[in-house]
Amino acid sequence: MLVLASLGLALLLSQQTSNCPDCRNDPRRPLLCSAHLEAETTLLREQRALLARSKDIDERLAAIDKVAALTRAHANVPSPVVARFLADALRDESLAVRRSALARLLDGQHHDETVRGVLDGWKEGQKLWRVLDAKLVLSEGSTESGKAPVALTTEELSDIPDYTLALIRALGRLRDERAWNALHAYFRAPLDRTPGRFLVAAADSMLQLDSRKSCDATIALLAEIEDAFVGGQVPRRFAGDQRTDLLASLKAPLENASEHDHAEIVALLAQYATLRNLAPPESEEPLRAADWKAWLKLNRDALPEKIGAQ
């Protein structure tokens, strides 16, 4: 019992962060004290060598954890070198390693390097999605024409979308103009090839950036989805009965936006209004983009003009 308790305590201590009075945030760059600089240099050399030689996922994940943990001893001065190491891991061939590096990067690491790293990771992640998207097009085509089916693995159908979602959520945590630009560009993705839940996650991230223009952009997205429904321009993407067909059930979470996603974005806007202590529009449910446009006009001045940097 005592052993267990002390093990628990050791674990707790290892998770704790502390500030170092000797590390300094110089206006030009963070300056680590000699002890922390030495710890960083030694560990990074070791773990870089390990990543270069080991293909073992557990070892690679452990390397990410160890390097990320360096910042805990001087949380007041996160090192850009550590953030860059984690950002580089967003190109790892294993999606598990990428996901772990992304989570560690968002956890108190050097702000500017984190922003750059996540944006680069987002670019890389979109490439993965585009390849999967092209395969989905071919796979649907072969189902309809009776040609040989395109091989799609369960991994591709679940891991790549999950990682894409993690990246979209990461953009909302950056609190930086550059994240707004990336999300705004994403809002222009074709509605008939972008999973509805990706758009909902992107709207959520956009609203987390907490500014007038993030509200503007989210309402514009809502209007676009609404227009597409009215014109019937967002057809179902995937054929097959998801209750009886395994492939169809794996593809179901990648479906185009639906009324359900529209309702989720409306709920996110209402949640944002509440968070800002503002009453949501008073129109009859379900609320539409026009209601939110009028709401924003009334409440414009109550919302921050700029996205706050951390």
At its nearest, how many Å lie between Zn ion and the CB of residue 52? Answer: 28
Contacting Zn ion (CB under 5 A), which of 30, 31, 33, 39?
Answer: 33
Residue closer to Zn ion by CB (options 67, 183) is: 67
Contacting Zn ion (CB under 5 A), which of 20, 95, 223, 248?
Answer: 20
> Residues with Cβ < 8 Å from 202, sequence gap 6 or more?
168, 171, 183, 186, 187, 221
Should residue 36 be labelled a site residue for Zn ion when binding is judged by CB under 5 A?
Answer: yes
CB atoms within 10 A of CB 277: 7
At its nearest, how many Å lie between Zn ion and the CB of residue 26? Answer: 13
Token pair of 124, please?
Answer: 């890389």
Should residue 23 be labelled a site residue for Zn ion when binding is judged by CB under 5 A?
Answer: yes
For residue 226, which of 138, 291, 136 has the smallest C-alpha distance? 291
Residue closer to Zn ion by CB (options 38, 46) is: 38
At its nearest, how many Å lie between Zn ion and the CB of residue 18? Answer: 10
Residue closer to Zn ion by CB (options 42, 158) is: 42
**Residue matched to tokens 């003009």:** 305
Yes or no: say if 291 and 222 are a contact pair by the CB < 8 Å rule: no
At its nearest, how many Å lie between Zn ion and the CB of residue 274? Answer: 42
At its nearest, how many Å lie between Zn ion and the CB of residue 282? Answer: 55
| Distance, CA of 121 to chain centre | 10
Q: What are phi and psi of 269, to 5 degrees?
A: -65, -40
At its nearest, how many Å lie between Zn ion and the CB of residue 40? Answer: 10
Contacting Zn ion (CB under 5 A), which of 60, 74, 237, 251?
Answer: 74
Should residue 82 be labelled a site residue for Zn ion when binding is judged by CB under 5 A?
Answer: no
Token pair of 187, please?
Answer: 């809002």
Bridge partners of 25, per DSSP, are 30
Residue closer to Zn ion by CB (options 33, 228) is: 33
E strand or H helix at 35: helix 34-53
Q: Which stretch binds Zn ion (CB under 5 A): 27-35, 112-120, 150-158, 162-170?
A: 27-35
Residue closer to Zn ion by CB (options 34, 277) is: 34
At its nearest, how many Å lie between Zn ion and the CB of residue 44? Answer: 16
Whether the CA torsion 117, 123, 128, 129 is positive or negative: it is positive
Residue type, 135: K
Interatomic CA distance for residues 241 and 161, integer angstroms: 21
For binding to Zn ion (CB under 5 A), which residues are involved? 20, 22-23, 33, 36, 74
